[in-house]
Structure 1
C-alpha cells in the first residue's frame, strides 16, 4: 500500500518516530520514496537560508516542547554542543495546538509575538521556525513581532519558516529529482 505514494510528509512538529519507520519500510526503500517531517524540513531549510553567522530558533506551543525540541535539534544536527552555534533555542506561547485556532485571536497574536520577541533577544536570529503544524499560515504575526523588536529593516530580514510549506517543497523537489 505504501508503494502507491511518491513521498510522505509527517506533519507533526517533533522528532517523530514515524519518519525513520517510513524510511525503513521495504516498499519505500525499493521504490526510493521520499520521506521527511515538518521538523526536519524546517531545520534543514533554516540552515540553508541563513548566513553561517546567524542562528535559527523555534517558536512553538507548550513549555514541555522546549526541552524536547532542543534535544531534537541536537540529535538532528548530530553535533552535540556545537548546535548552539546555529541554534538560538525554543520559545513557547503557552498555548496548545487547538488553542491556536480556538482561543481569541488577539490572545493568540499576543502570545505568538511575545514568544518571537523572546527568541529574537537571544541574538542574531536569522530564521524562525513555526514549531507546530497548527501555526501554518501565522507568518504575518511573526513578521509583526520581528519588525516591532528589531525595526523595519532588520525585522524584515528574518526568515520565517513554515514547516508544512518547507516539507511540501522538499518532497516536491525530492520526487522531481528522483532522490
Structure 2
C-alpha cells in the first residue's frame, strides 16, 4: 500500500477534518491517506509570518515520519516553506518521495487544463494574500515580474480568514466568495479559478453559482474550478505510482 500524508500546518483540527471527505471522494485505490495537524502554533495562517512560524511547530514531528510515507501534501495555500524543506529532507532520505503544496498543485493543474489563450486566477481570504500570492505565482512560474507571463488573471479576496470560512454566518461567506469570484471573472479571459485556501475545500458549488450568474449558464459552466487539495492529492497519486 502506498501512503500519502496530508499536512495541515495550522493548529485548527476542524480544518484538517474537513479535508477527509474531500479526499475520500476521489476513491483512489491502494493508497492510504493519513492526516497531520500542527500540534501548536497559529490557529490560522493569515500571512507569511504565520507560515514561517508554523514550520517550527510542525517540522520536529514531521521529521519523525519521513520514512513512513511515500508522498506529502502541504495543505496551506501559500508559498509555504515546508514544501522546499520537506523536498530537501525527503531527497536525503529517499529521492523518490514526492512533495507538493496545494498552491503549486493548483497552479500547475490550471495551466494544463485551460486553453493557451486563457488565464487562471485565485480567490483567497484576506487582502494581504493579493500581493503575497501574486508574488508566489511569479516566482513559481519563473516569469520575473511579468505576473504570470500573461496567463495569470490575478488574486481576488473575500476579507475573511481561513477559520472565518467555517465560523462566520454561511450567507456572509457565500456573498463574499461570490463577489470575489465575479470580480476575478470581470478581468476577462479567465478559464480556471483556484480556491486559494484549504478552508475553501468543498466550496465549489458557490463558486460555480457565481460563474453562472456572471457569465450565463453555458459560459459559467465552462470555467474550471480547481481545489488545491484535490489537485495535490491527484498529482501525488500519479507521482508516487510512477516514481517521479
Report TM bin, short chain: over 0.9
Q: Give TM-score scaled by structure 2 length.
A: 0.71
Q: Which moved more, 1:30-39 or 1:86-95?
A: 30-39
Please say if residues 3 and 31 of structure 1, whose CA atoms lie closer than 8 Å, have aligned partners that are also in contact. Answer: no
Deviation of 1:84 after TM superposition, in Å, equals: 4.4
1:12 maps to which of 73, 76, 84? 76
Please say if residues 2 and 27 of structure 1, whose CA atoms lie closer than 8 Å, have aligned partners that are also in contact. Answer: no
Q: Count the aligned residue pairs.
A: 179
Please, which runs of 5 or more residues in structure 2 have no aligned partner? 1-64
Q: Relative contact order (alpha carbons < 8 A, sep ≥ 6): 1 or 2 greater?
A: 1
Q: For 1:133-161, what per-residue CA distance to the aligned partner results, in whole angstroms no more than 9, with x for missing partners? A: 00000000000000000000000000000
Q: Give TM-score scaled by structure 1 length.
A: 0.97
2:231 maps to which of 166, 169, 177? 166
Please, which runs of 5 or more residues in structure 1 have no aligned partner? none
Please say if residues 6 and 34 of structure 1, whose CA atoms lie closer than 8 Å, have aligned partners that are also in contact. Answer: yes
Q: Which runs of 4+ in 1 moved over 4 A?
A: 26-29
Residues 26, 105 of structure 1: CA spacing in aligned structure 2 closer, same or farther, 3 A cutoff? Answer: closer
Residues 111, 82 of structure 1: CA spacing in aligned structure 2 closer, same or farther, 3 A cutoff? Answer: closer
1:4-153 residue pairs with structure 2 within 5 A? 4-25=68-89, 30-80=94-144, 81=146, 83-153=148-218
**Quick one: distance in 1 between partners of 2:75 and 2:131?**
20
Which of the pair is proportionally richer in helix? 1
Deviation of 1:30 after TM superposition, in Å, equals: 2.4
- Taking only aligned residues, the RMSD between alpha carbons, in angstroms, comes to 1.2
